[in-house]
Structure 1
Amino acid sequence: MANRTVNLQYLAGAEPIARARAMLRARAVSVVDEMRELVAVPAPPFGEARRSAWFATRLQEAGYAPVCDELHNVIAAHGPLDGCLVLAAHLDTVFPEDTPLTPRERDGRIYAPGISDNVRGLAAILALARVLAEVDLGLPRTVAFVGTVGEEAAGDLRGMKHLFREGGPLRNAAAVIAVDGSGLRRIVHRAVGSIRMRVTVRGSGGHSWADYGIPNPLHALTAAMARLASMPLPSRPRTTLTVARMQGGTSINAIPAEAWAEIDIRSEDAAVLRRLDEAVHTVLTEETRAARVGRHGLEVDSQRIGERPAGVTAADHPLVRVARAATRMIGERPELIASSTDANVPISLGIPGIAIGAGGESGGMHTLEEWYSDEGGAEGLERLLLTVAGAASAL
Structure 2
Amino acid sequence: TSVKKLTTVSAYTFRLRRVDRSLISRIALSGDRETYPLAPRSKPDSNQGMASHAPARATGARLDSVATYRALSSARARLAARDAAILHAQITLAEIAAPTGEEHERGAFVARRFRALGLRDIEVDEAANVIGRRPGRSGLPPIVVCAHLDTVFPRGTSLSVRRDGARLVGPGINDNSRGLAVMLAIAEEIDGSRLTSRRPIDFVATTGEEGLGDLRGAKRYFDGRGRDAAATIALDGAGDERVVTRALGSRRFRVSFVGTGGHSWAAFGSPNAVHAAAGAAARLAALRLPLEPRTTLSVGRIGGGISVNSIPDHAWLEIDLRSTSGEMLDRYEREILLASRAACEEENNRRAFGTRALSMAIQPIGTRPCGETSVEHPLVRHALAATRLVGREPDVATASTDANIPIARGIPAIAIGAGGRGGDAHTQSEWFDNTDGSRGVSRALTIVFGAAEMED
Is the structural similarity TM-score above 0.5? yes
The aligned length equals 391
For each residue in 1:282-301, what CA deviation from the matched residue of structure 2 results, as whole angstroms up to 9, or x when unmatched?
A: 22223333434666433110
| Secondary structure of residue in 2 paired with 1:164 | helix
Matched, 1:39 2:94: yes
Among 224, 228, 248, the residue aligned to 1:192 = 248
Which of 106, 111, 118 aligns to 1:56? It is: 111
When normalised by structure 1's length, the TM-score is 0.91
Corresponding residue for 1:329? Answer: 389
- 3-state SS of the aligned residue for 1:13? helix
2:38 is matched with which residue? Answer: none
CA distance in 2: counterparts of 1:145 and 1:179, whole angstroms: 11
Which residue pairs with 1:30 in the alignment?
A: 85
Indicate yes or no: 2:189 matched with 1:134.
Answer: no
SS of 2:134 mapped into structure 1: coil
Does 2:448 correspond to 1:391?
no
- Contact persistence 1:203–1:258 (CA under 8 A): yes
**More off after superposition, 206-215 vs 335-344:** 206-215
Worse-superposed segment, 97-106 or 86-95: 97-106
- Secondary structure of the residue aligned to 1:77 is strand
8 Å contact from structure 2 (residues 190, 196) kept in 1: no
Deviations 1:264-299 (A, max 9, x none): 111112232122112211222233334346664331
Which residue, out of 197, 200, 213, partners 1:155? 213
How much has 1:8 moved relative to structure 2?
Answer: 1.0
For residues 76-98 of structure 1, give each alpha carbon's deviation from its aligned partner in whole angstroms, at most 9, with x where no partner exists.
11338972110001111222222
Which aligned pairs between 1:229-308 and structure 2 lie closer than 5 A? 229-290=285-346, 291-292=348-349, 296-308=356-368
Partner Cα distance (2:270, 2:99) in 1: 45
The 2-side partners of 1:55 and 1:249 are apart by 44
In 1, Cα distance between the equivalents of 2:123 and 2:263? 60
Shift of 1:158: 1.1
Deviations 1:173-193 (A, max 9, x none): 111111011111111111112
Q: Is the 8 A contact 1:184 1:376 kept in 2?
A: no
Q: Which residue in the other structure is 1:8 paired with?
A: 65
Q: How far 1:233 sits from its partner (Å)?
A: 1.3
1:313, 1:352 within 8 Å by CA — same for their partners in 2?
yes
Q: Which residue of 1 aligns with 2:437?
A: 377
Residue of structure 1 equivalent to 2:427:
367
Partner AA of 2:171 in structure 1: P
Alignment match, 1:90: 148
CA distance in 1, matches of 2:92, 2:313: 51
Alpha-carbon offset, residue 4 of structure 1: 3.0
Q: 2:157 and 2:140 mapped to 1: Cα distance?
A: 39
Q: What amino acid is aligned across from residue 329 of structure 2 in structure 1?
A: L
| Alpha-carbon shift at residue 250 of structure 1 (Å) | 3.3
Q: Aligned residue for 1:353?
A: 413
Cα displacement (A) at 1:137:
4.4
Verify the 8 A CA contact 1:89 1:125 in the aligned structure 2: yes
Q: Give the drift of 1:55.
A: 0.9
Aligned residue for 1:318? 378
Stretches of structure 2 that go unaligned for 5 or more consecutive residues are: 1-57
How far, CA to CA, are the matches of 1:276 and 1:234 in structure 2?
11
Q: Taking structure 1 as reference, are residues 59 and 206 closer, same or farther at Cα in structure 2, changes over 3 Å only?
A: closer
CA distance in 2 between counterparts of 1:35 and 1:247 reads 37
| Alpha-carbon distance, 1:211 to partner | 5.0
Q: Distance in 1 between matches of 2:374 and 2:365?
A: 30
Contact 1:150–1:158 (CA under 8 A) maintained in structure 2: yes
When normalised by structure 2's length, the TM-score is 0.80
Contact 1:318 1:394 in 2 (8 A): no
CA offset at residue 217 of structure 1? 3.1
Distance in 2, Cα, partners of 1:150 & 1:393: 30
